[in-house]
Amino acid sequence: MREVVGIGGKDGTYYVIDRDGVNEINGVRWDDPLEVRNPRPENWCTLETQNIGLPYWCRRVVEGGVLGGIIASAAVGEGRIFFSTAPGRSITDPQLPAAWALHMSDGSVAWSNAEARPSFAPTGAVPGVVFMGTTFLSTKHGFLDAYATADGARLIQLDVKSLPGGASSVPAVVGGMVFVGGGVGVFGRPGGQSYLSGSVDTPISAFCLRGAPGCTDDPPCDDGNPCTYDYRRPQGTCTSEPAPNTLSCNVNLLAGTCLDGACVPMPTGLATQ
């Protein structure tokens, strides 16, 4: 059993190399000349190029690009590597499929799902289920999709209460509950509106597994106010409490701040600094 590390790239390729930087099969080292580490760039990362260069194997799944490729970390288990891919060169015309599973042994494709939305999110997994957040700027909320690890079939799509853009947080799964954050983070020049919008705090969503203790079929508690925390009391009733003052929020996509449970516009001088 070799100790290896897997790396996803924005070129749409997943690489597996030895943790010591030396391919133990062919002897190629991390500090060898480029033509030794990558001797066949025109035919790179196919099954026919196993152990020719530094990687034990590599597999290109999409074309990649500035906003494409494998952005975040993968999940590994059950003899497979699970990951999602980003939109690529165009958000409106994304590179698909965007959900993948590769065999750990040689990088061959175990499955892909062409209906999966692109993602900037790390992949999370538990036995039998893999979770991938989605990036889709035309929707109000992001989504967390759950797929079967065996064949990639989508099991459920969970609506993550967040700003427009999607869900780029890795989920935490514990005790029959799934916790995930929303939003895609900062993108744009410092001080620009997209930069400010991307830095706004977003809520955490919690989902429960039907049948788990305390899990009911009641709809989630959400009063639509970004400056309140909404939750269900043990008695089953929804309640809201004001979020802390100065918490960031959006007012018609403009930067705002929470004040006594309401989102108010941020003073102009502060919003443009």
> For 11-28, how does the pLDDT look when each residue is reduced to its tens digit (9 = 90+)?
999 999 999 999 999 999
For the stretch 221-224, contacts whose Cβ atoms lie closer than 8 Å and that sit 24 or more positions apart, written own/partner, are 222/161
- The pLDDT assigned to 209 comes to 79
Please give the pLDDT value at position 164: 55
Q: What is d(CA 206, CA 63) in angstroms, rounded to the nearest whole number?
A: 34
| Side chain identity, residue 110 | A
Where do the domains of the chain lie?
A: 216-265
Task: Check whether 86 has a pLDDT greater than 70.
Answer: yes
CA angle, 128 then 62 then 46, to 5°: 90
* Helix segments in the chain, DSSP class H: 34-37, 193-198, 268-271
For the segment 137-162, the average pLDDT, to the nearest whole number, is 82
Report which residue type is found at 157.
Q
3-class DSSP state of 177: strand
Residues sharing a CB contact under 8 Å with residue 255, sequence separation 6 or more, in sequence order = 193, 196, 197, 200, 248, 265, 266, 271
- Is pLDDT of 254 > 70? yes
Asked whether the beta carbons of 155 and 143 are under 8 A apart, the reply is no
Say yes or no to pLDDT of 111 above 60.
Answer: yes
Global confidence as pTM: 0.80
Per-residue pLDDT reduced to its tens digit, 182-226: 766 655 555 555 555 555 566 778 888 777 777 777 777 888 888
